[in-house]
Amino acid sequence: MAKNKKQKVKRPKALPPRGLRDYFGPEVVERNEMLGKITDVYQRYGFDPLETPAIETVEALGSFLPDVDRPNAGIFAWQDEDDAWMALRYDLTAPLARVYAQFSKDLPTPYRRYAVGPVWRNEKAGPGRFRQFYQCDADTVGTPTVAADAEICGMLSDTLEAVGIPRGDYIVRVNNRKVLNGVMEVAGVLDPFDPTKFEAERGIVLRAIDKLDRLGTGGVRALLGEGRKDDSGDFTGGAKLSDEQAEIIMSFMDARCDTGGATCTRLRELVAGSDMGLTGVQELETIAELSEAQGYGSDRLLIDPSVVRGLGYYTGPVYEAELTFEIFDGKGRKRQFGSVAGGGRYDDLVKRFTGQEVPATGISIGVDRLLSALREKGRIGDQDNGPVLVTVMDRDRMADYQTMVSELRNAGIRAEVYLGNPKNFGNQLKYADARNSPVAVIEGGNEKENRVVQIKDLALGKDLAADITTNEEWKAQPAQMEIKRADLVTEVRKMIARADG
Amino acid sequence: MAKNKKQKVKRPKALPPRGLRDYFGPEVVERNEMLGKITDVYQRYGFDPLETPAIETVEALGSFLPDVDRPNAGIFAWQDEDDAWMALRYDLTAPLARVYAQFSKDLPTPYRRYAVGPVWRNEKAGPGRFRQFYQCDADTVGTPTVAADAEICGMLSDTLEAVGIPRGDYIVRVNNRKVLNGVMEVAGVLDPFDPTKFEAERGIVLRAIDKLDRLGTGGVRALLGEGRKDDSGDFTGGAKLSDEQAEIIMSFMDARCDTGGATCTRLRELVAGSDMGLTGVQELETIAELSEAQGYGSDRLLIDPSVVRGLGYYTGPVYEAELTFEIFDGKGRKRQFGSVAGGGRYDDLVKRFTGQEVPATGISIGVDRLLSALREKGRIGDQDNGPVLVTVMDRDRMADYQTMVSELRNAGIRAEVYLGNPKNFGNQLKYADARNSPVAVIEGGNEKENRVVQIKDLALGKDLAADITTNEEWKAQPAQMEIKRADLVTEVRKMIARADG
């Protein structure tokens, strides 16, 4: 900086890189509080926190992102001094796989871990879509039992209620990739002895099912056959299945019945002949039974064959938490809020490092989506509790004002003294307004002499504040009262309680 | 991954990049709890949280790190697709300056903000020194009053006590760069009309003072003169001051008296003739007065001319919190724990963006050092509260076991069911040991029939656990008791209370 003084200074732009943003005050507090409630549930379920560094080697991360629908999705990567490539993590699962491969001898088996933190994607940012965002994951590594999957589904349900989504406003949908594969086998697009055969067709089928919400059954049916022309005239090639094959897939998607038991019975018929499919149905039945026994009935957990999720990744049960209440979208149309969390079983991630298959299952909560759901429901958003402001009437008596804030703080009340230029009292009140202060404390020379102070209910007086600039005008208002200096803490506390109540 | 199946797989190494590490279970919990206590104090003082992205543009960060003693210290930087350079933040102050420059119109003035989060340095890592670490900062931007500095020193004091450092075990030392500059002026190594003159000499003087702890007065005196040869024979060039000049500097370092008032009187004599120096002493006096009035006496806050801190940066008061209790260093020698936090006033950071000087002052807490101090004092470290383990005696009755953990969790007790292969009961107990479980719950077929369960005090039985492999052997131990199934929650809670007590 010293050097710059002599040169013509080229000023840096005061902007973050594109696609990144800052979070202020209540936004940070609200997110932290929500994450605290989530991790309390995770902790109670016996999950242990793990915090990995933001940076991993590129080889440890792997060159793939979980969602194969976006193959161009990128990472932020650079070369270290010794030319090794390193990158910011794009999720919390890849680092978990690295940690488990590195420390498996020291970790308990099974290893239940949770992780909370930002991840980074080098993608085009859009409205509400940023290149850094939070994830909040819980995974159980090292056990093949679907009791682990059932546990995670139950935990997901408890978590949603803990953060403030009432029962009835969410549903956890469960499916199983093995059932899907069984249906594919029955339809003749999966050969258990040659898993690579028909890979392209299966990809199209899976993506089609994933789009059921958007395209409807007609659209999906078209994609199973010759293909589909969308409204803009663009044509998407289909899987070119025969009518008979396509019907098998369509009946799978339509297999959901009123109860989990009935759905499983229907699925069992559909996958008859496929060992993998039958195993999958059996697993779904076990999950439904275990959940039912713990009180997670069909009002909270639903076997739903239409759930597929990020397809390159999962090997068994997959699950998704949806919020079922309605909101208005950008175009003023009512729609369900939709998915806020999801996950499933993935048995191959640790294998990349060690060669050994390590069964694992887990969920990831979409922190920002869940936050915005809670805002929609009015569960958060009024947490901007500003500090009590002790105003400065006489700048030579800062010590007096500091003593007042000390007393308030020692009593647990958020409080501060005005540290700007105290000359203009109106500025102090504007400041209190900007800080969302509930109460202002005023002690001029007269008050000091009489051992009293004025306290001002700013919540009550907020509407009038714009027009008031002098202490005298404030005094004339009903929201202001004179109290004994000795009663400062008691009276301020009362006034805050009134404002909150 | 599908592709890899056909190729000869080259396995990635399961390691983080060098200089980075993972944090497990209690380490994460302990740090979060400490940070929670710190930010509670910050919040109570009226500071608002701010969370900026990990990534900034390189131009916004600037190319300098705060500590000019390590000019080679680097950042992790890379080029974005549009060739713009971006980098991971190396501290939390540079992003604050960018935010304040960007949003000053929307932010209250003064703006009190706190920030917590990791920062990254592309430096050589060493023992206990990592390339990602936490900082926890609080700054007041937009006011020149030293009341803001006094407030931050008091808050630092409160913060240390809030996390568990008892009064008497810490001291906040305060100095003022203006006093230092006044002394330089008196000694003839600072010309107020040409601040660039004698820059090199001043740099040597400041670095020498900063090393007083390590070199002693003799070493510092040598560096003020011709230079100093260290034990290894290496020679460091000195500032080549005359004896008279050097004596002025030396008496400044020695100016600390028993009370802040006496120290200020002494300093006033030393800077006589320098306006800047006198302003600095006046500021120190005000800080001491304001602090004293709020009860921060010389047992907590000390005017200390030997504090200099990162020198390229500060323009007024500087402060440092030191822990004064003794520990044994790596070589078994007693020494004071030393600095855990520091900061000061910097008025030029926002100016880089806007051209306007914005006064600001703040502190940064060394999160890892403070954590290790708390471990030294035994204030943290026993927080590894493992979950109650419900063992699996009959794998067909998972629903029963899951129901037990549900009951325990609903009562707020951390609990889990064993999800590994239940065949070998000894493995279940080893798992409980690895998890640091306080209690194991056992329900075999007989127990189920008689509506009882066994609960096992694992804390009590821990020493014996290694030799015990069957349920029968456990039953023979005094730490195990049979209880009614209906009393599960009550009895487990009692047993945990006993283990804790």
Nearest to A20 among B12, B25, B55 (CB): B55
Assess A28–B contact: CB distance below 8 Å, yes or no: yes
Q: Where are the alpha helices (DSSP H) in A367-456?
A: 367-376, 398-410, 425-434, 445-450
- Per-residue pLDDT at B63: 61
Tally A–B CB contacts below 8 A. 296
Task: State the Cα–Cα distance between residues A178 and A279, nearest whole angstrom.
Answer: 7
Assess B101–A contact: CB distance below 8 Å, yes or no: yes
Which DSSP state fits A86?
A: E
Closest CA to A405 of B138, B108, B151, B300: B151
Q: How many CB atoms lie within 10 A of CB B425?
A: 21
Assess B297–A contact: CB distance below 8 Å, yes or no: no
Q: Do A12 and B60 touch (CB under 8 A)?
A: yes
Q: Which domains are assigned to chain B?
A: 388-500 (3.40.50.800)
Smallest CA–CA distance, residue B305 to chain A, in Å, is 24
Angle in degrees, CA A351, A356, A359, rounded to 5? 70
Task: State the Cα–Cα distance between residues B285 and B175, nearest whole angstrom.
Answer: 11
Distance of CA B369 to the CA centre of its chain: 5
Q: Do B403 and A293 touch (CB under 8 A)?
A: yes
Within the 134-173 window of chain B, which residues sit less than 8 Å (CB to CB) from chain A? 140, 142-143, 145, 147-148, 150-151, 154, 158
- Per-residue pLDDT at A476: 63
Q: Do B406 and A143 touch (CB under 8 A)?
A: no
Q: Do B78 and A78 touch (CB under 8 A)?
A: yes
Nearest to B353 among A11, A20, A406 (CB): A11
Assess A132–B contact: CB distance below 8 Å, yes or no: yes
Contacts of B23 in chain A (CB under 8 A): 49-52
Assess B73–A contact: CB distance below 8 Å, yes or no: no
Backbone phi, then psi, for B434, in 5-degree steps?
-60, -30
- Per-residue pLDDT at A312: 63
Assess A72–B contact: CB distance below 8 Å, yes or no: no
- Per-residue pLDDT at B353: 93
Task: State the Cα–Cα distance between residues B43 and B40, nearest whole angstrom.
Answer: 5
Contacts of B124 in chain A (CB under 8 A): none
Contacts of B436 in chain A (CB under 8 A): none
Contacts of A60 in chain B (CB under 8 A): 12-16
Nearest to A64 among B1, B60, B108 (CB): B1
Query: Which uninterrupted H or E stretch holds A134?
Result: strand A132-141
- Per-residue pLDDT at B464: 60
Sequence-distant (6+) residues with CB within 8 A of A35 are A116, A134, A136, A367
Task: State the Cα–Cα distance between residues A152 and A342, nearest whole angstrom.
Answer: 10
Q: For every one of its 501 residues, what pLDDT tens digit does chain A have, with 9 covering 90 and above? A: 444 445 566 789 999 999 999 999 999 999 999 999 999 999 999 999 999 999 999 889 886 544 433 333 588 988 877 778 899 999 999 999 999 999 999 999 999 999 999 999 988 877 778 999 999 999 999 999 999 999 999 999 999 999 999 999 999 999 999 999 999 999 999 988 888 899 888 888 888 888 887 888 899 999 999 999 888 888 888 999 999 999 999 998 888 888 888 899 999 999 999 999 999 999 999 999 999 888 898 899 999 988 877 656 788 999 999 999 888 877 788 888 889 999 999 988 889 899 999 999 999 999 999 998 998 888 777 656 899 999 999 989 999 999 999 999 999 999 999 999 999 999 999 999 889 999 999 999 999 999 999 999 988 776 555 566 676 766 666 688 999 999 999 999 999 887 765
Q: Cα Rg for chain B, rounded, in angstroms?
A: 29
* Cβ–Cβ < 8 Å for A172, A134: no
Assess B406–A contact: CB distance below 8 Å, yes or no: yes
Closest CA to A414 of B153, B45, B154: B45
* Cβ–Cβ < 8 Å for B294, B306: no
Task: State the Cα–Cα distance between residues B468 and B487, nearest whole angstrom.
Answer: 26
pTM: predicted TM-score of the whole model, two decimal places: 0.89
Calculate the CA dihedral of residues A309, A315, A316, A317 and round it to 10 degrees: -30
Assess B44–A contact: CB distance below 8 Å, yes or no: yes
Q: Do B151 and A419 touch (CB under 8 A)?
A: yes
Smallest CA–CA distance, residue A293 to chain B, in Å, is 6
- Per-residue pLDDT at A3: 47
The predicted-structure confidence for B8-50, as pLDDT tens digits, reads as follows 667 899 999 999 999 999 999 999 999 999 999 999 999 999 9
Helices B398-410 + A275-293 axis angle, to 10 = 40
| Burial class of residue B67 in the structure, from the number of CB atoms within 10 Å of its CB (0-12 exposed, 13-18 middle, 19+ buried) | middle
Task: State the Cα–Cα distance between residues A68 and A117, nearest whole angstrom.
Answer: 23
CA distances to A163, A321, B97, B196, B298 from A24, in Å: 21, 28, 14, 39, 36
- Per-residue pLDDT at A4: 46
Q: How many CB atoms lie within 10 A of CB A490?
A: 12
- Per-residue pLDDT at A66: 46
Assess B411–A contact: CB distance below 8 Å, yes or no: no
Task: State the Cα–Cα distance between residues A94 and A100, nearest whole angstrom.
Answer: 10
Task: State the Cα–Cα distance between residues A266 and A19, nearest whole angstrom.
Answer: 46
Any long-range contacts for B250-258 (C-beta under 8 Å, 24+ apart)? B250/B217, B250/B220, B250/B221, B250/B224, B252/B179, B252/B180, B252/B183, B252/B305, B253/B209, B253/B212, B253/B217, B253/B220, B253/B305, B253/B306, B254/B217, B255/B305, B256/B302, B256/B303, B256/B304, B256/B305, B256/B306, B258/B298
Closest CA to A389 of A476, A263, A303, A474: A474
Task: State the Cα–Cα distance between residues B14 and B11, nearest whole angstrom.
Answer: 9
Nearest CA in chain B to A390: B46
Q: Do B414 and A46 touch (CB under 8 A)?
A: yes
Going by their DSSP bridges, the two strands B301-303 and B170-176 should be labelled as parallel
Nearest CA in chain B to A133: B53
Residue type for A349, please?
Answer: L
Q: Do A147 and B402 touch (CB under 8 A)?
A: yes
Mutation site for B-interface testing, chosen from A13, A40, A51, A68 by largest number of B Cβ within 10 Å: A51
Q: Where are the alpha helices (DSSP H) in B384-470?
A: 398-410, 425-434, 445-450, 458-461
Assess A108–B contact: CB distance below 8 Å, yes or no: yes
Task: State the Cα–Cα distance between residues B389 and A247, nearest whole angstrom.
Answer: 48
Contacts of B196 in chain A (CB under 8 A): 2, 5-6
Task: State the Cα–Cα distance between residues B98 and B62, nearest whole angstrom.
Answer: 10
Smallest CA–CA distance, residue B52 to chain A, in Å, is 4
Task: State the Cα–Cα distance between residues B248 and B315, nearest whole angstrom.
Answer: 21
Mutation site for A-interface testing, chosen from B55, B58, B436 by largest number of A Cβ within 10 Å: B55
* CA within 13 Å, CB half, A184: 26
Contacts of A416 in chain B (CB under 8 A): 45-46, 112
The residue ranges of DSSP E strands in A346-399, in sequence order, are 360-366, 388-390
- Per-residue pLDDT at B3: 47
Assess B473–A contact: CB distance below 8 Å, yes or no: no
Q: Which two tokens stand for residue A277?
A: 């499919």
Closest CA to A369 of A168, A158, A175, A133: A133
Mutation site for A-interface testing, chosen from B41, B51, B406 by largest number of A Cβ within 10 Å: B51
Burial track A167-177 (b if 16+ CB lie within 10 A, e otherwise): eebbbbbbbbb
Q: Do A25 and B416 touch (CB under 8 A)?
A: no
Residue type for B304, please?
Answer: D
- Per-residue pLDDT at B71: 36
3-state secondary structure of B468: coil
Q: Do A143 and B51 touch (CB under 8 A)?
A: no
Q: For every one of its 501 residues, what pLDDT tens digit does chain B have, with 9 covering 90 and above? A: 444 445 566 789 999 999 999 999 999 999 999 999 999 999 999 999 999 999 999 889 886 544 433 333 588 988 877 778 899 999 999 999 999 999 999 999 999 999 999 999 988 877 778 999 999 999 999 999 999 999 999 999 999 999 999 999 999 999 999 999 999 999 999 988 888 898 888 888 888 888 888 888 899 999 999 999 888 888 888 999 999 999 999 998 888 888 888 899 999 999 999 999 999 999 999 999 999 888 898 899 999 988 877 656 788 999 999 999 888 877 788 888 889 999 999 988 889 899 999 999 999 999 999 998 998 888 777 656 899 999 999 989 999 999 999 999 999 999 999 999 999 999 999 999 889 999 999 999 999 999 999 999 988 776 565 566 676 766 666 688 999 999 999 999 999 888 665
- Per-residue pLDDT at A2: 47
- Is the reported ipTM for this assembly greater than 0.85? yes
Contacts of B190 in chain A (CB under 8 A): none
Assess A426–B contact: CB distance below 8 Å, yes or no: no
Angle in degrees, CA B121, B123, B126, rounded to 5? 115
Sequence-distant (6+) residues with CB within 8 A of A332 are none
